[in-house]
Structure 1
Amino acid sequence: MFVGPTGDHNDRGMSGASVVGRALGRRLDLVPTVLGTPQPADSQPWQTALPTALPGLRDLQRVHANVLAGGRIPVCALSRCAASLATLPTIAERRPDAFVVWFDAHADLNTPDTTTTGYLGGLVLSAAIGWWDSGLGAGLSPERVVLGGSRDLDPPEQSLVDAGTIALAAGPSMHELLDLYVGDRPVYFHLDCDVLEPGTVPTDYRVPGGLTLDDLADVARRLSRNEIVGIEVAEFESWEFEVAADAADVTDYAGPLVDALEPLLTVVSRPR
């Protein structure tokens, strides 16, 4: 799990990654590897946030690449989507046949030239594709990116979807569109928790019209028919009351989220 800073708006994503990481570890009967060092959130724009984040992200990238090189399947709990600046280039390099299925209320396809907020997390997929240089590599083909459940797109991002540059599976036809765009190809699954209906789990962004946990479980069942080459969960925030290191072990509020991902976790836990 990655608990380091990435230009966070608050500290709860860094501690939330620990909550999810421990829950995933219990489900998979593994002791999570902890990467990154939490720092006080400062809401810095990407120009400042990226240099601060790079040391931790390079450690994450090294470990992620080693897991893939060893023929294993990475399962990551990430503080924020911006941590995927490190993971997606390793997928592009080591599993170029895989489709990145990006379930997120947002597209994260802005670039430094198009962003209106300067938020690093909104520039992730565009960096992995190579539309700007994050310093962590690229190589992801836009033809192998499928947005899932995305509904809050900025105009430049919407233009990419409208032009067919990036595929979007959302709305009542989500499953049919996943069948069309992903088919039976290998999948690297990214979950930003704000793709869920606000209030389902604690998140920074709250975008109405999201998925329920039952919807997420249905998506997990559909994708579990494919080869799963990795899973990552980001943007789960800790409750403000959590102060003790073992508080989430007593009140496991990440449990329902992990339960919804059970079909995918069953796939990755099978002997290889």
Structure 2
Amino acid sequence: MSEVAITLFQGRVADHNNLAIPGAKSVARMLAEQLGVGIAVVGVPAPALSAGWQLELNQAMPGLHALAARLVEVFARSAKPLSATSRCAASLATLPVVARYRPDACVVWFDAHADLNTPSTTGSGYLGGMALSGPAGLWDSGLGAGLALSNVVLVGQRSLDPSEVSLIASGAVTHVAPGPALADRLRAAVGGRAVYMHLDCDVLNPGIVPTDYVHEDGLSLEDLRTACAVLAESEVIGLEIAEFQDAWEEGGEPVSPAQLIAALAPALKALR
């Protein structure tokens, strides 16, 4: 049985509100309880800035470097990382480490967005929209790169910007859109490769769990569970969960991540 190392990232990184930092904590706590392992906490909570990408990155950099160091330590001892992060932009730190230690693995990116914008293509200036493009070397985040675009499998995207549509159309990255036969299309896209899974909760249909962005025509919990079962057919080398907000609105009643974690069960089992 593999050692699973849980990391809780509590730093601020391109937050629009103050709900994802406590959301990540609730996810990590439930995972730790179910798996019977401890939690390593990285980063210090801070109020949301809701600022442009450069300021957000500068402010987040100490926490992101610490997160990268934690992933290095996990991989160096041949453990498997299971991370609960506040926002997708934390992947600027995690994915270059994944690519360094497991260049053979594909990153399966569950998200309503592709997050493949760059400082020169972004329309919003949002750092989270560049979370995957930095590790893929499309711009220099200061946190490293090394992830081959051919090892990126996008799943569930339905809000794409023109530059991202062009990348997909060129065949540089694989896109498994929501819809019929998702499991079969995902299996073909992975092609038996080792898998590192990233989950942005907005890949799900609105109203299932609280998250920052809301886009219709996403995945159901059953779709997610079926997709995780497909990934479990391969070697699952790590998993990160981002963008779970602990309430529907600031000051609201806390929401449990139990149904989300239940849907991830096949992938979590494969980690062990």
Which range, TM-score by smaller chain? over 0.9
In 2, distance between residues paired with 1:127 and 1:156? 15
After the TM superposition, which of the residue ranges 96-105 and 163-172 deviates more from structure 2? Answer: 163-172
Change (3 A) 1:242 1:259: farther
In 2, distance between residues paired with 1:236 and 1:208? 17
Show the counterpart of 1:227.
235
Deviation at 1:45, TM superposition (A): 0.6
Q: Deviations over 1:93-138 (max 9, x none)?
A: 0000000000000000000000011100000111011111111000
Kindly report which structure 2 residues correspond to 1:98-247, keeping only aligned pairs within 5 A, or say none: 98-170=105-177, 171-239=179-247
Letter of the 2:188 counterpart: L
In 2, distance between residues paired with 1:223 and 1:36? 30
Is it true that 1:261 corresponds to 2:264 in the alignment?
Answer: yes
- Please identify which structure carries the higher helix content: 1
From 61, 76, 99, the equivalent of 1:54 is 61
Q: Percent identity?
A: 49
Q: TM-score, with normalisation over the residues of structure 2?
A: 0.94
Q: Deviations over 1:20-61 (max 9, x none)?
A: 111111111112111111111110111100010000011100
Q: Is the CA contact 2:71–2:97 (under 8 Å) kept in the aligned structure 1?
A: yes
Show the counterpart of 1:22.
29
Q: Deviations over 1:192-229 (max 9, x none)?
A: 00000011000000000011111111011111111001
In 1, distance between residues paired with 2:46 and 2:233? 39
Deviation at 1:264, TM superposition (A): 1.1
Task: Give the gaps of 5 or more residues in structure 1.
Answer: none
Letter of the 1:90 counterpart: V
Q: Is the CA contact 1:28–1:265 (under 8 Å) kept in the aligned structure 2?
A: no
In 2, distance between residues paired with 1:58 and 1:30? 24
Change (3 A) 1:241 1:209: closer
In 2, distance between residues paired with 1:242 and 1:155? 33
3-state SS of the aligned residue for 1:117?
coil
Letter of the 2:261 counterpart: V
Deviation at 1:176, TM superposition (A): 2.2
* RMSD between aligned residues: 1.6
Q: Which runs of 4+ in 1 moved over 4 A?
A: 240-243
Deviation at 1:174, TM superposition (A): 2.0
3-state SS of the aligned residue for 1:5?
coil
In 2, distance between residues paired with 1:167 and 1:240? 32
3-state SS of the aligned residue for 2:198?
strand
Q: Is the CA contact 2:202–2:215 (under 8 Å) kept in the aligned structure 1?
A: yes
- Please identify which structure carries the higher strand content: 2
In 1, distance between residues paired with 2:9 and 2:152? 23
Q: Deviations over 1:72-96 (max 9, x none)?
A: 1000001000000000000110000
3-state SS of the aligned residue for 1:159?
helix
Show the counterpart of 1:35.
42
3-state SS of the aligned residue for 1:125?
coil
Q: Deviations over 1:163-199 (max 9, x none)?
A: 1111001222322222222121100000000000011
3-state SS of the aligned residue for 1:231?
strand
